[in-house]
Structure 1
């Protein structure tokens, strides 16, 4: 029995970064609930697609992976033209999930003190996380507005866009290697910009039925993470653990469906209580 409130059947959904750790979960969750899903990614390789749909276990008419540079308007528009030709409608849902961050495994030249943080790295991180989100939102939102059928735009934020990183969590790196790791400023600055971009677009397009919201996750567990890092990180989370990569799927379905029909300009925080301290 279909749940009409959370139904996304036949909705045309775009997920940027839709083959990444969290993004692939959004892609699969939307697809499994009957949506047509297009992944915009810099690397649409068959191997990456097979991590979501092993052995071609999907209907190709409802899934498309397209090579897109989200920092280049011409590739975005070309991909949107391709989708409109394929599915004959403008998108109903955009999930802006593409992003890059600096991990504790990063080399010292990009993870040192704020005073010496490289300008080129700052620009790259802001370009992908914020400028790319702006360009995708601008292009897709414009088509939604022109079509007059509304839509939902979901921007993926971060707890580090809401609050500053707790640098003590990363102190173990200096103990292990003799080289300190300072969680860099670029990701926090870029993600913080997402929140006002969301609010701006929500008010700008509100009367056109285009809803724009932010989903804020916390740290996601990976089997490659250092055990000391995991212990340090989880000690800051009231629930006492990091999130699983699929624990944000329900929020995306909620924001994509009419279950959130009166929600716009909001920030849906799913962080195990991190920002509640």
Structure 2
């Protein structure tokens, strides 16, 4: 049974690898004996995390500075990874901009009627186009393995439901200045669900599975009043801890989920049930 959950010597690409959840994904890959290949925009943070994983879990971890919105950088990285490891066994499309709720008293840039096209383009480029490009190139290499492999897209509960904009309201602000969760977050996360279903059928004959998880929010020093309101909307009565998705990530990457393909797994404490 333990072997079913092993990632021993499997090379797993992780985008946005040094972020709050990306680092947890990288950790569980290393804990399971895999080789986490960390992609992010800061080489020093990639090096720091890869060194920590190597020392703690005695695995061969490596990090690369890659801007996944630039196809040429992905292609260049693939040549390095293939030279070093020969094969790629898995991909976690985790990188995304997390557009902040704007609380400016001059102009509410998060609101749809004010939202800049430049921000829209960048959020889509990172979260959706970047995932497409990584699937196009890393996913293709996974399809060349005799045994196939696994692609995991990190969506969100807000890929399944609309954001409850009441959570972000500020007392005393006029309606046109009220902050909201920006539109791009929902669009990107819903788009990843569509990408998941497409990829689940595209290389199925090569035994490449593709699934998505839809995590709920992670408690991370948010405003106490905000936390109170969010928790009231979650059946379990709390937000997630940052390490609570590790088991699900491991399951979907490993052979224990060998017949799971095209699944969209909500992991949100029950929020989308209500």
Q: Could you say which residue in structure 2 is the equivalent of 1:127?
A: 125
* CA shift for structure 1 position 13: 0.7
In 2 relative to 1, CA 168–132 (structure 1 residues): closer, same or farther, beyond 3 Å? Answer: same
Matches within 5 A, 1:96-245: 96-104=93-101, 107=104, 111-172=109-170, 179-223=177-221, 225-245=222-242
- For structure 1, which runs of at least 5 residues remain unmatched after alignment? none
* CA shift for structure 1 position 109: 5.2
2:144, 2:103 → 1: CA distance?
43
Q: Could you say which residue in structure 2 is the equivalent of 1:43?
A: 42
Q: Does 1:84 align with 2:82?
A: yes
1:76, 1:260 → 2: CA distance?
28
Query: TM-score normalised to the size of structure 1?
Result: 0.91
* CA shift for structure 1 position 267: 0.6
1:34, 1:200 → 2: CA distance?
29
1:9–1:33 CA contact under 8 A, matched in 2: yes
- For structure 2, which runs of at least 5 residues remain unmatched after alignment? none
In 2 relative to 1, CA 204–274 (structure 1 residues): closer, same or farther, beyond 3 Å? Answer: same
Q: Does 1:264 align with 2:268?
A: no
2:272, 2:186 → 1: CA distance?
14
Structure 1 residue ranges, 4+ long, deviating more than 6 angstroms after superposition: none
1:20, 1:8 → 2: CA distance?
22
1:11–1:92 CA contact under 8 A, matched in 2: yes
In 2 relative to 1, CA 111–219 (structure 1 residues): closer, same or farther, beyond 3 Å? Answer: farther
In 2 relative to 1, CA 72–174 (structure 1 residues): closer, same or farther, beyond 3 Å? Answer: farther
When structure 1 is superposed on structure 2, of 96-105 and 13-22 the one drifting more is 96-105
In 2 relative to 1, CA 29–118 (structure 1 residues): closer, same or farther, beyond 3 Å? Answer: same
Alpha-carbon RMSD: 2.3
1:145–1:208 CA contact under 8 A, matched in 2: yes
2:244, 2:253 → 1: CA distance?
16
Q: Could you say which residue in structure 1 is the equivalent of 2:15?
A: 16
1:121, 1:12 → 2: CA distance?
33
Query: TM-score normalised to the size of structure 2?
Result: 0.92
1:261, 1:169 → 2: CA distance?
39
1:216, 1:263 → 2: CA distance?
15
Which secondary structure state, in structure 1, belongs to the residue aligned with residue 203 of structure 2? Answer: helix
* CA shift for structure 1 position 146: 2.9
1:262, 1:121 → 2: CA distance?
39
When structure 1 is superposed on structure 2, of 235-244 and 141-150 the one drifting more is 141-150
* CA shift for structure 1 position 111: 3.8
1:263, 1:109 → 2: CA distance?
46
1:213-237 deviations in whole A, cap 9, x for unaligned?
00110001112x1111111111111
